[in-house]
A and B are shown apart, each in its own frame.
Chain A
Amino acid sequence: MRNLKRQLLAGPYLLWMAGFILLPVVMILYYAFTTTSGHFTMLNITSISASIHLKSLLLSLKLALVCTIICLVLSYPLAMILNNMKLKRQGFIVFVFILPMWMNFMLRILAWKMLLSNNGVINTLLETLGLPALDILNTPSAVVFCMVYDFLPFMILPIYNAMSRIQKDILEAAKDLGAGNIIIFFKIIVPLTMSGVVSGIIMVFVPALTSFAISDLLGGGKVLLIGNVIEQAFMQEYNWNLGSGLSVVLMIFVIASMALMSSKGEEGGASVW
């Protein structure tokens, strides 16, 4: 059968994924549930309840949530404005808003570190204007600031895409049936962009929850996220079992937040009134 032969083309990919996605997950689970001497234990998992770990997990959740909300609040009107623009300019404008995303992730952090530092551009500017200095480097605010900067495009794009897929005649039909702008927004535009909002939230929340580089570089060692705890367990304390255990916990949170969001997305799609 010709068709079966063609299916075999996916073989190398399947082997690759089994070797480098599945096997590593098995490894991390193995380390997570064993002691250094190879005996079964739950301690690596339960150590999340240790106050220092719990504190960093809660802080991660909080910062990720704040970052996601800010991104959402900034992106939605932006996507609407972009979508309403004349088509000729639209391509260019969208291009402008995704370009920064293509700059190296580290360099974007670098840029903000430099802008926010005590004798950096922003503070010098504030000083010349006679305003109080913004002393936020090495605080959670700086971390959130940079996360928003880094992840904003991930929110803008899916929402913009969902919005540009709404047919113009759907909006006209709503208007024709007597809907004013407010009703059109809440009953048509919001529900029809819900899928974009959901993927935007996932695409911002997950990396914000699990990032460690931003907090490391802009938190000055004072902002300890769960990502930092895991990174230190591996790279400094060489406690791989603990690190794996915490990674598994983090994975559970990631999966749970995604599951929660996608179920919300389906609800949002169906129940409108």
Chain B
Amino acid sequence: MSKRLIDLQHITKSFDGQMVLDDLNLYIRENEFLTLLGPSGCGKTTTLRIIGGFEMPDSGSVIFDEKNITELAPNERQLNTVFQKYALFPHMSIAENIAFGLKIKKKSKSYIKDKIKYALKLVNLDGFEKRSVDSLSGGQQQRIAIARAIVNEPKVLLLDEPLGALDLKLRQDMQYELIRLKNELGITFIYVTHDQEEALTMSDTIVVMNQGYIQQIGTPQDIYNEPKNAFVADFIGESNIIDGLMLEDRLVKILNANFPCVDEGFGKNTPVDVVIRPEDVELVSPEQGSLEGDVTSLIFKGVHWEIEVLANGYEWLVQTTHMHPVGSHVGIQIDPYNIQIMNKPESSDERAVESCVT
């Protein structure tokens, strides 16, 4: 395991009396692609700005490479930021934009020239040196913003929803570009987004945040397959989240039907939240299923069908490659491994989560 490069310890921050981050603890390893994911107002951008030095935490400390940099100004930190709206200097050419940081560091002319060339090549914009900022498209501006940041050879690149303003196709292309860049540069990326697909595609580690609290930290697979609570399950992909009763170990009752599962240790007759991904719901003949229901809607999505099944008063979302016409009577079956059991919220953090989801 590579070492911890950045360590956020007990960070608290509020604006105008409104708590934005509450006792946040998080570490980021060297060469990691870490994504802060959450809805707007969850504190992800504030976290990034605290790492960048643009906000001062009310309490807590920021450790960078074993040094406390909490009080350090942004211009004295060894990291660079790619801003959401690019923030290119409108009065400078592309080359001047990229050279800005290097000139401050008093690098030689030839060094700067080489670096500009290298950076433009890296972001696939060779020969753009003399162009003006407003002659570029949004995607090109974003690449320049990245080039401007990376020529300074930062140890960490902070990216604040850098693809937010781009259209879908461009966004997908840029996702691959970013992964390639990260691999070529071998530096740490801290990425902020509210787009779960972006997070799943690019990250080594995802930090799901809501209302100033970290909900879950894990690899994309962990986060997707084993969401820790209803918020994460709902935020990452679509889910069936159903009230359930844990009858005993390995047996849960949902909508008056008993389902075997693999979870233990919840006690007997405990109310729980049950999460089942739409692609994990199997539609079988009525007599084979644990539950019976009727298909109420059928939509073709390309790779699969999206079907809604009304069973015991709950509208199940199902994704399957088999077609079941509207009105057909079907049975619902779920593999025990695909049933995700979660405690009902108890602590105040989790209750905050709950209020947001509903």
Interface size on B, residues (CB 8 A): 29
Taking a contact as CB atoms under 8 Å apart, the answer to whether B75 and A179 are in contact is yes
Q: Does B338 contact A (CB under 8 A)?
A: no
Complex Cα distance, B85 from A78, in Å, reads 29
B239 interface contact, C-beta 8 A = no
Quick check: B73 and A175 within 8 Å, CB to CB? yes
Partner-binding segment picked from B95-103, B180-188, B320-328: B95-103
Set of chain A residues within 8 Å of B152, measured between Cβ atoms: 177-178
Q: Are B75 and A169 in contact (CB under 8 A)?
A: no
Given A173-B89, A177-B152, A188-B89: A272 touches B96 (CB 8 Å cut-off): yes
Q: How large is the interface on A (under 10, 10 to 19, 20 to 34, 35 or more residues)?
A: 20 to 34
- Could you tell me if A172 and B100 are in contact, using CB atoms closer than 8 angstroms? no
The reply on B3 being an interface residue by CB < 8 A is no
Q: Which residue of chain B is the closest to A190 with respect to CB atoms?
A: B91
Whole-angstrom CA separation of A269 from B133 in the bound complex: 13
* A273 CB, nearest partner CB in chain B, Å: 6
Q: Quick one: which of A177, A183, A270 contacts B80, CB cutoff 8 A? A: A177
Known: A172-B83, A192-B91. A273 touches B104 (CB 8 A): no
Do the beta carbons of A169 and B103 come within 8 Å of each other? no
Q: How far is the CA of A270 from the CA of B91 in the complex (A)?
A: 6
In A231-273, the 8 Å CB interface with B consists of 269-270, 272-273
User: Is B155 an interface position by the 8 A CB rule?
Assistant: no
Give CA–CA (A172, B81) in the complex, Å.
9
**Cβ of B85 and Cβ of A169 under 8 Å apart?**
yes
Interface residues of B in 181-200 (CB under 8 A from A): none
Asked if A12 lies at the interface with its beta carbon under 8 angstroms from chain B, I say no
| Of A170, A173, A177, A179, most B-chain CB atoms within 10 Å | A177
A132 close to B (CB within 8 Å): no
6 A-B residue pairs with CB within 8 Å: A170-B90, A175-B53, A176-B74, A178-B105, A179-B100, A273-B96
* Interface residues of B, Cβ cutoff 8 Å to A: 52-54, 73-76, 80-81, 83-85, 87-92, 96, 99-101, 103-105, 145, 148-149, 152
The residues of A with any CB-CB pair to B shorter than 8 Å are 167, 169-170, 172-180, 183, 187-188, 191-192, 269-270, 272-273
Q: A176-B52, A176-B54, A192-B90 are in contact. List 10 more A-B contacts (CB 8 A).
A: A169-B83, A169-B84, A169-B85, A170-B90, A172-B74, A173-B87, A173-B88, A173-B89, A178-B105, A273-B103
